[in-house]
Amino acid sequence: MSEIKSKVLALKYRPQIFEDLIGQDIMVKTISNSIKIKKIPNAYLFTGIRGVGKTTTARIVAKALNCKNGIDNLCKENQCEHCEAIANGNHLDILEMDGADKTGIDDVRDLIEFSKYSPSTANYKIFIVDEVHMLSKQAFNALLKTLEEPPDYLKFIFATTEVRKIPVTVISRCQRFDLSRVKSELLLVFLKNIVSKEKGKISEEALKLIVKISEGSVRDSLSLLDRALITQTLEKKELDLKMAQKIFGYFDKSQLIELFDLIFIGKEKEIIEKYRKISDQGVDPKIFLNDFLEVLYFIKNFKIFGKNEINFSLNDEESKNLEKISSSIDNETLIMFWQFTLKSIEELNMVSNQDLLVEMFLVRLTHLKDSPKLEELLNNIELSNDSNYKNDIKVNNLKSPIEETKNLIKSLDQIKNISQEKKEEKINPEPIMNNNILEIKKFEDLISICSNEKEIKLKYDLEKNVKLVKFEFGLIEIESSNNFDKDFIKNLSQKLFEWTNQRWIITLSKLKGRPTKNQIKENENKELLDKVKLSDDYKKILKNFKDANLINIEEKEPIND
């Protein structure tokens, strides 16, 4: 029985010559011209996201340098011995290694030792190093000399997805090419041609979904297409958009647009039910929120340009519905939704059940859309009968709805109170008392107030254990730690409410915070000690008192006679 051999599409349709590469025209032209005029660099460096053709380009360059037919007639089908051996990965003079596997200095030493010998059959001996950023620092250092002044017959070709991890000294010795993401239109045409060659039946809308998910990566798109063709073959019918969404775990944008309608109507129950149906399809919460952002972007396009700039992300019915929504939503609400969605994406990693966060996000949007505009606030504020007082209203302190998204916990009553404050001639940097309400503008204010209010335990924790990530009015974000007293956050929250008449959000973050106040003070004292120890006065003291040791410094105010 004969064995049936098959290749995955990513290998079957791997480019063999420069003309097969898509989306990299400038790079192809530059490299081809340099080889034609014999201006060949010592080393090439190809960087870009996964699946855009870095390793493939490296092999094609190796072929172009060694092909018997020359750069203008590179072998595609009837390959010469060099091109065939390079394509199969068994050419004696073309060494291809994985930087993730061969990371040490010993591996690079073997490579350098191998480079001392001239090529056996080819014009050039070529080293292709994939994921070169994985090499160790010592390995990079060992390469530097050979990389800068290699023998005429030796060429290096590096490929990486993390170019920032490569030392600058290495990058400066290479001719660098940044491979861009392949544009959607080119990728769609490319996939259509492959479907035709494979005699598959996949709708254009399904192919557009594959293009969107692949994010400009050719290899990703071919892997997804492989799955689609297998399903289509088994089902024995054309694979449409609905089936593709089930295969790839993506949901129809029409469901998201329906959610927008429900948000503006304010039907909270239906909103939750609609999201749970989307979630049951296996949609990741982060993907949902990113698609939510994309729909907001489409609405922006309709408002500004009167159309959707991205050609095939929406069908006609979806475009019509979004155009209708764009006419009923104002710019301030649109920007509020955008900012609040970004904030929710940041908060996803802070909760164990991300679906709960998305549900609360959607419910809060129904109330956020109704937040009063600046003009409404001014009309509703009850002003004093004193006409002179009207001129003193602190209008500048009123935040627009856009700014309000930064602190959603503020109620309308609190905004009114702010609006009725009289303008201050100058801002006092220290915490001040205003009608028994304290103003806390920075972390140092909070520590100072704890000291004034005799909250010694709270002050101790703030100075010794709090590594601050973010501090603004109404919000404190600190690095998570086991050093806190179990009631620390509860007590701090209660005191902040007493002092400011404002509910504060206190969150524990996975992000690394700044050093504690005590650590900062210790570092400053150490720097001062080190500075004094270098002074001439201290050296004179040591000369007379050899056992002396400086352990502390106290600065005293000068005594005035």
Q: Which two tokens stand for residue 216?
A: 């400009």
Conformational region of residue 142, where left means phi above 0, alpha means psi within -120 to 50, and beta covers everything else = alpha
Q: 261-265, 299-303, 417-421: which range is least confident on average?
A: 417-421
191 in the same domain as 257: no
The residue among 178, 201, 229 that closes a domain is 178
How many domains, in total, are found in the chain?
3
Rounded to an integer, the average pLDDT of 439-468 is: 82
CB atoms under 10 Å from CB of 170, counted, come to 21
One domain for residues 53 and 158: yes
Tell whether 320 and 244 lie within a shared domain. Answer: no
Asked if residue 334 is part of any domain, the answer here is yes
Distances (CA, A) of 512 to 95, 164, 342, 506, 523: 42, 22, 20, 16, 18
Same domain, 223 and 261: no
Q: Does residue 223 form part of some domain?
A: yes
Copy the structure tokens of residue 249.
Answer: 């775990």
Separation CA 508–CA 480 (nearest Å)? 5
Cβ atoms of 272 and 363 within 8 Å: the answer is yes
Where in the sequence is the domain holding 299, given as residue range(s)? 253-368
Burial degree of 321 (CB within 10 A; 0-12, 13-18, 19+): middle
Q: Is residue 179 predicted with pLDDT exceeding 90? A: yes
- pLDDT confidence bin for 221, thresholds 50/70/90: very high
Q: How far is CA 308 from the centre of its chain?
A: 25
What pLDDT does 315 receive?
A: 64
Is residue 67 scored above 80 in pLDDT?
Answer: yes
**SS3 assignment, position 433:** strand
pLDDT category of residue 554 using cuts at 50, 70 and 90? low
SS3 of residue 198 by DSSP: coil
Do residue 117 and residue 172 come from a single domain?
yes
- Per the model's pLDDT, the better-predicted residue between 56 and 71 turns out to be 56
In the three-class reduction of DSSP (H, G, I as helix; E, B as strand; rest coil), residue 434 is classed as strand
Write down the pLDDT at residue 559. Answer: 54
Residue type, 531: K
Q: Which residue has the higher pLDDT, 28 or 380?
A: 28
What pLDDT score does 537 carry?
Answer: 73
Residue 541 CA to residue 530 CA, distance in Å, equals 15
Give the pTM: 0.58
Q: Hey, is 368 helix, strand or coil?
A: helix
163 shares its domain with 308: no
